[in-house]
Amino acid sequence: MRIVVAACSVDYSGRLTAHLPLAPRVLMRKADGSVLVHSDGGSYKPLNWMTPPCAVTESEPTDDQREQGVREVWTVQNTKSDDRLIISLHEIQADHSFELGVDPGLVKDGVEAHLQKLLAEQIGLLGDGHALVRREYPTAIGPVDILARGDGGHVAVEIKRRGDIDGVEQLTRYLDLLNRDPLLAPVEGVFAAQEIKPQARVLATDRGIRCLVLDYDAMRGIDDVDSRLF
Amino acid sequence: MRIVVAACSVDYSGRLTAHLPLAPRVLMRKADGSVLVHSDGGSYKPLNWMTPPCAVTESEPTDDQREQGVREVWTVQNTKSDDRLIISLHEIQADHSFELGVDPGLVKDGVEAHLQKLLAEQIGLLGDGHALVRREYPTAIGPVDILARGDGGHVAVEIKRRGDIDGVEQLTRYLDLLNRDPLLAPVEGVFAAQEIKPQARVLATDRGIRCLVLDYDAMRGIDDVDSRLF
DNA sequence: GTCTTCATCTCGGTC
DNA sequence: GACCGAGGTGAAGAC
């Protein structure tokens, strides 16, 4: 990891073209060749960057550039596409290199995947006598979160952390498709989420889709109990 | 802008909870209070971060923490939500501050708007005898990218850089609405994109919507020729 | 303000 | 490797 603080101007060309006028910025060069250009604001997104795989070529400025104060030119070329970043460095305030090693990485907890896993394990929440067919049941337009067998037919479940209209639309498409399959029909829809927006509930109900509010803490609690018991 | 290179462990709690084990990393503190935790790889996204508005509180480690090598603890609290980042700094390799000033910002050029402009100019790509009615044709549920007149009716075009299912849904809503207008009906749908995902193509075809793959470079090339001739 | 849509999206999963 | 969906999405424009 090399960090350079310098006044610079930057030109990007690739999926779009973009230009950064001359100003002081922080340049981060990572071990994998990637480069980030950060200013002292905005959010975590750099003003400009190059993602790996890429390679940096450092070159001397032309006489013209040198007259205008350019001390160094970096050309960052993506090795898979024709994306290119050209950075012209003027006054350099700092230039430091560090050895960081490989990062052990982030440990996440508590998202939609977890909800899906818990509901699959506690499939009875859909109603008595329901049995899991499979998670991520594949269809031509994408996987259904959960497919289960119910009384006299099947149940397709769409799971969201926050249930709004998009999720109901998604489930509706799956139901249209699944109900054309004589081996599955009739397929009932269940829209399951930690929180269901009123508009989504109205739309779902209007389409005969059942809404199921999931209590994440309770489901996790039961899961913990199961883990302890078995 | 303050840049600290240190071994650290990080805990985030907010919309999810996440943990970063102890390892050497780069910590960036921006003038607006935001904090980024970067490793020496990945892309431009930090391992962890806090977006403004937020405030950092620096505190002394407890005796326990000090025994385990913690030198400093930063608590980054979002001032609008209950998102919180707790960073425990161990050995500190570097700690530098810089004055960067406000950035003049990025100048962009050339995306979906350009595709729309080009297709409007080359409306014949829809088929022989087609004529542009207008770009951004207004409806009650939003503007249609392009409306054209075809053989015996009209054509509504939805343009995307990458065409997937969402775009087909959007176009379907427009078509439902436009076909109720006796002055326009029948209105045919064309889904135009640089790249159309297979699932989107299936859905579009199923709904009688025509798919049109746009060759951006070719269209731009024709545009350049036009520019030179006229 | 809120809402919608785009993004050099990034990232993780699965097939 | 391609494709699909989620994101602590962020950011810009419309209303």
Whether residue A94 lies within 8 A of chain B, CB to CB, comes out as yes
β-bridge pairing B17-29 and A107-109? antiparallel
Within a domain: B106: no
Whether residue A180 lies within 8 A of chain B, CB to CB, comes out as no
Within a domain: B40: yes
Query: At residue A60, what are phi and psi to the nearest 5 degrees?
Result: -75, 145
B130 plus B85 within the same structural domain: no
B166 plus B197 within the same structural domain: yes
What is the signed CA dihedral for B36, B37, B43, B44, rounded to 10 degrees?
Answer: 10
Listed as ranges, the nucleotides of chain D within 7 A of a protein C-beta are 3-11, 15
Average pLDDT over residues A5-16: 90
Q: In b/e form, how buried is each residue of B115-149, taking b as 16+ CB within 10 angstroms?
A: bbebbbebbebbeeebebbebebeeeeeebbbbbe
B118 plus B59 within the same structural domain: no
**What are the structure tokens assigned to A162, written together?**
């926050």
A205 plus A140 within the same structural domain: yes
The pLDDT value given to residue A139:
81
Within a domain: B103: no
The pLDDT value given to residue A229:
38
Q: How far is B82 from chain A (nearest CA, A)?
A: 16
B116 plus B39 within the same structural domain: no
Lowest-pLDDT range, A82-86, A184-188, B14-18, B226-230?
Answer: B226-230
Q: What's the rounded Cα separation, in Å, for the pair B143 and B124?
A: 21
A117 plus A223 within the same structural domain: yes
Within a domain: A104: no
Q: What's the rounded Cα separation, in Å, for the pair B135 and B148?
A: 9
* Domain CATH number, residue B124: 3.40.1350.10
- Using CB atoms, which residue from B3, B28, B41 is nearest to A30? B41
Between chain A and chain B, the number of residue pairs with CB atoms below 8 A apart is 169
Q: Is the pLDDT of residue A224 over 70?
A: no
Lowest-pLDDT range, A48-52, A71-75, A105-109, B83-87?
Answer: A105-109
Within a domain: B107: no
Q: What's the rounded Cα separation, in Å, for the pair A49 and B44?
A: 7
Q: Which domain holds residue B30?
A: 2-97
The total domain count for chain A is 2
The pLDDT value given to residue A214:
86
With contact defined as beta carbons under 8 Å apart, do A99 and A4 qualify? no
More confident residue, A77 or A15: A77
Within a domain: B224: yes
Q: What's the rounded Cα separation, in Å, for the pair B171 and B212?
A: 13
- CA-to-C1' span, B25 to D12 (A): 32
Query: What are the residues with a C-beta under 7 Å from any atom of nucleic chain D?
Result: A 42-45, 108, 111-112, 141-143, 160-161, 167, 170; B 12, 14-16, 18, 48-51, 78, 83, 85, 138, 143, 164-165, 197-200
A127 plus A51 within the same structural domain: no
A93 plus A129 within the same structural domain: no
Q: What is the pLDDT along chain B (230 residues), one digit of tens a residue?
A: 999 999 999 999 888 888 999 999 999 999 988 999 999 988 899 999 999 999 999 999 999 999 999 999 999 999 988 899 999 999 999 999 999 988 888 877 655 777 788 888 889 999 999 999 988 887 777 778 889 998 889 999 988 887 888 788 888 888 888 898 898 989 999 999 887 887 788 888 888 999 998 877 677 666 554 433 33
Helix (H, G, I), strand (E, B) or coil at A168: helix
The pLDDT value given to residue A227:
43
**What are the structure tokens assigned to A43, written together?**
């959010």
Q: How far apart, in Å, do the first and last CA atoms of chain B sit? A: 51
B125 plus B213 within the same structural domain: yes
Q: Is the pLDDT of residue A216 over 50?
A: yes
Within a domain: A167: yes
Q: Which segments of B122-210 does DSSP mark as H helices, in order?
A: 165-178, 198-206
Say yes or no: Cβ of A218 under 7 A from any atom of strand C.
Answer: no
B74 plus B170 within the same structural domain: no
Within a domain: A209: yes
Per-residue pLDDT of A24-39, as tens digits, reads 999 999 998 999 999 9
Q: Does residue A52 have a cis peptide bond before it, meaning omega lies within 30 degrees of 0?
A: no
Closest to B91 (Cα-Cα) out of A156, A99, A16, A113: A99
Query: At residue A223, what are phi and psi to the nearest 5 degrees?
Result: -60, -45
Q: How much of chain A, in percent, has pLDDT values that exceed 90?
A: 51
* Domain CATH number, residue A31: 2.70.180.20
More confident residue, B136 or A229: B136
pLDDT band at A157 (very low <50, low <70, confident <90, very high): very high
A86 plus A118 within the same structural domain: no
Query: Tokens 């913690």, residue?
Result: B70
Collect contacts of B50-53 with beta carbons under 8 A, ≥24 apart: B50/B76, B50/B78, B50/B83, B50/B85, B51/A43, B51/A44, B51/B78, B52/A43, B53/B78, B53/B79, B53/B80
Domain termination residue (choose one: A97, A126, A161): A97
> Exposed, middle or buried: residue B210 (CB in 10 Å: 0-12, 13-18, 19+)?
middle
The pLDDT value given to residue B216:
72
- CA-to-C1' span, B25 to C7 (A): 27
B214 plus B119 within the same structural domain: yes
More confident residue, B136 or A59: A59
The pLDDT value given to residue A111:
63
Average pLDDT over residues A128-133: 92
More confident residue, A110 or B226: A110
Per-chain mean pLDDT for chain A? 87
Average pLDDT over residues A181-202: 86
Domain termination residue (choose one: B65, B97, B129): B97
